[in-house]
Amino acid sequence: MSGDELREQGVAAAKAGRKDEARTLLARATQLNPRDTQAWLFLASVTDDKKARLLALRKVLELEPTNKLAIAAVKALGVDPDKLIATAAADSTPP
């Protein structure tokens, strides 16, 4: 199954309220296509853990720094989006 198909199934599961199934499908979709911002956004929306949610949103902002949904979601979690992006850049810098 392709990443797009997994994302679509994950989105459908999320909209139907099946969060566990959605999480599994969307996580697989992001593994197959790590640049799929929609999969990352929906994964963040079905993740209960704040740290995991921020990691998914950070990935969106790494790919699309001006993504309004991701910025709003990060702010709603009480985190400055610029600082979140800065931590991503620091994490990816080799020692």
| Per-residue pLDDT tens listing for the chain (95 residues) | 888 899 999 999 999 999 999 999 999 999 999 999 999 999 999 999 999 999 999 999 999 999 999 999 999 999 988 888 877 666 654 44
User: What pLDDT is recorded for position 36?
Assistant: 96
Instruction: Calculate the CA dihedral of residues 47, 1, 13, 28 and round it to 10 degrees.
Output: -10
Q: For the whole model, what pTM was predicted?
A: 0.87
User: What pLDDT is recorded for position 20?
Assistant: 95
User: What pLDDT is recorded for position 1?
Assistant: 82
For residues 94 and 72, give the distance between their C-alpha atoms in angstroms, rounded to a whole number: 30
Q: Tell me the DSSP string of 9-37.
A: HHHHHHHTT-HHHHHHHHHHHHHH-TT-H
For residues 21 and 46, give the distance between their C-alpha atoms in angstroms, rounded to a whole number: 10
Residue 57, both tokens: 């949103």
